Structure 1
Amino acid sequence: MISDKSEPPVCRIIDYGKYKFTQEKKAKEAKKKQHNASIKEVKMRYKIEEHDYNVRLNQALRFLESGDKVKVTVIFRGREIQHLNLAIELLNKMSKDLSTIAEMQQNPSRDGKNMIMILSPQKNKN
Structure 2
Amino acid sequence: MINEQIRDKEVRLVSEDGEQLGIMSSRDALKMAMDAELDLVKIAPMAKPPVCKIIDYGKFKYEQTRKDKEAKKKQKTVELKEVRLSPNIDTNDLNTKVNNAKKFITKGNKVKVTLRFRGREMAHVQQSRHILDDFAALLEDIAVIEKPAKMEGRNMSMVLTEKR
TM-score band (shorter)?
0.7 to 0.9
Which residue is equivalent to 1:6?
Answer: 22
Aligned to 1:74: 115
Q: Which residue pairs with 2:60 in the alignment?
A: 19
Seq. identity, %: 36
In structure 2, how many angstroms separate the alpha carbons of the residues matched to 1:5 and 1:43?
65
Aligned length: 122
Structure of higher RCO (CA pairs closer than 8 Å, 6+ residues apart)? 1
Query: TM-score under structure 2 normalisation?
Result: 0.63
Q: CA 1:21/1:110 → structure 2, altered by over 3 Å: closer, same or farther?
A: same
**Which is strand-richer, 1 or 2?**
2
Return 5+ residue gaps in structure 2 as ranges.
1-13, 30-51
Q: Which structure has the bigger radius of gyration? A: 2
Distance 1:4 1:104 in 2: 52
Local SS of the residue matching 1:67: coil
TM-score of the two chains, using structure 1 as the length reference: 0.79
Taking the TM superposition and a 5 Å limit, the aligned residue runs for 1:98-117 are 98-117=139-158
Q: How far does residue 76 in structure 1 lie from its aligned partner after superposition?
A: 0.8
The reply on whether 1:119 has 2:119 as its aligned counterpart is: no
Structure 1, unaligned stretches of length 5 or more?
none
Aligned residues: CA RMSD? 2.4
